[in-house]
Amino acid sequence: MRFSHKHLLGIEPLAPHEITMILDLAERYVDLNRGHAKHGDALTGLTQINMFFENSTRTQASFELAGMRLGADVMNMSMQASSIKKGETLIDTALTLNAMHPDLLVVRHPHSGAVDLLAQKVNCAVLNAGDGRHEHPTQALLDALTIRRAKGRLHRLSVAICGDIAHSRVARSNILLLGKMENRVKLIGPPTLMPSGIAEFGVEVYQDMAEGLQDVDVVMMLRLQKERMDGGFIPSEREYYHRYGLDAQKLAHAKPDAIVMHPGPMNRGVEIDGTIADDINRSVIQEQVEMGVAVRMAAMDILARNLRATPQEVMA
């Protein structure tokens, strides 16, 4: 089995066996990360550049650590402060970086499709660390790994994704991934925060938490993306919390062993009750962060293998 992509731009182009391949490799890196000597050599000699055109702490730290643990030379570029402010176009920035011969480029950008555009212009492997409202593939992969470890499988599960679906790239990547792995996906949220055409995605849509959470195995909460909203999607945070915030009462509709997930950063008291987020029997939020490093190590390792292989081998 081969991973037949040069870049990791989204979940959309991946085949189910490719998703499994990344997760299986990530399992091995979980063990490595829990050991004493947290060091591999899969990326030795390679240069990894993290380009974040949008603020990020956790994702950038996760990618940085993943690269360093596999022996890559890692450089962080905060694009907010750099030449982009001086009017340089994305493509010129990409070409400039390309001339420095990086091997792995990790990119986050506020506009959907910007990472695809950049990937067309560079020779190295590009990993999408989130583009606009489009995709955030490594987040979906780390969520999948967390679910698989907690539930023992990644198929025939009932998964609820709750909250601000419209502005969420995490939701898009998760809907695609969970669908490809043959799970039942339920979306719960106010209709103003549902993307258009959502009924054609092969998911069930609910506007009521109690109804939507009925007998689910996994509850995935999303952050209310206040910075992406241009006003007027919900009447107020307190009404939102009342109707869609996850508390013990609403969670009681899910299966007794249902797990609670959140991609972070959390708005406690807006979309999730603090006591649930901290409940070690239900919440796997810390585990998600741990899986994030392992999944990113696996993804970069697999792309690096393809970099070394000839094009014919990659496509075979």
> Does residue 180 bind another protein (CB under 8 A)?
no
200 binds another protein (CB under 8 A): yes
Residue 196 sits in the site that holds another protein (CB under 8 A) = yes
Residue 164 binds another protein (CB under 8 A)? no
H helical segments located in the chain: 16-34, 58-69, 90-98, 114-119, 137-151, 169-180, 209-212, 237-244, 248-251, 274-277, 285-308, 311-315
Phi and psi at residue 188, to the nearest 5°? -125, 130
Nearer to another protein, 149 or 169 (CB): 169
CB 237 within 8 A of CB 270: yes
Nearer of residues 13 and 274 to another protein, judged by Cβ: 13
Q: CB of 28: closest distance to another protein in angstroms?
A: 32
Examine residue 89 and tell whether it contacts another protein (CB under 8 A).
Answer: yes
Q: 204 vs 247, which CB is nearer to another protein?
A: 204
Measured between alpha carbons, how far is 198 from 204 in angstroms, rounded to an integer?
A: 9
CA pair distance 67, 193, nearest whole angstrom? 35
- What is the C-alpha separation between 90 and 69, in angstroms, rounded? 29
Any contact of residue 282 with another protein (CB under 8 A)? Answer: no
6 binds another protein (CB under 8 A): no
Phi, psi for 268 (deg, rounded to 5): -60, 135
Residue 82 vs 249, nearer CB to another protein: 82
Reference 94, options 86, 81, 83, 85; nearest CA is 83
**Shortest Å distance, C-beta 228 to another protein:** 10
Nearer to another protein, 31 or 200 (CB): 200
SS3 at position 305: helix
User: How near is the Cβ of 192 to another protein at its closest, in Å?
Assistant: 13
Residue 8 per-residue DSSP state:
B
The yes or no reply on residue 281 touching another protein (CB under 8 A) is no
Site for another protein in 99-158 (CB under 8 A): 109, 111-114, 116-117, 131-135
Q: Which two tokens stand for residue 293?
A: 């490093």
The answer to whether the beta carbons of residues 173 and 127 sit under 8 Å apart is: no
- Of 25, 66, 90, 276, the residue at the interface with another protein (CB under 8 A) is 90
CB 207 within 8 Å of CB 188 = yes
Nearer to another protein, 90 or 303 (CB): 90
290 binds another protein (CB under 8 A): no
Ranges within 11-40 binding another protein (CB under 8 A): 12
Binding positions for another protein, rule: CB under 8 A: 12, 89-91, 109, 111-114, 116-117, 131-135, 169, 172, 195-198, 200-201, 230
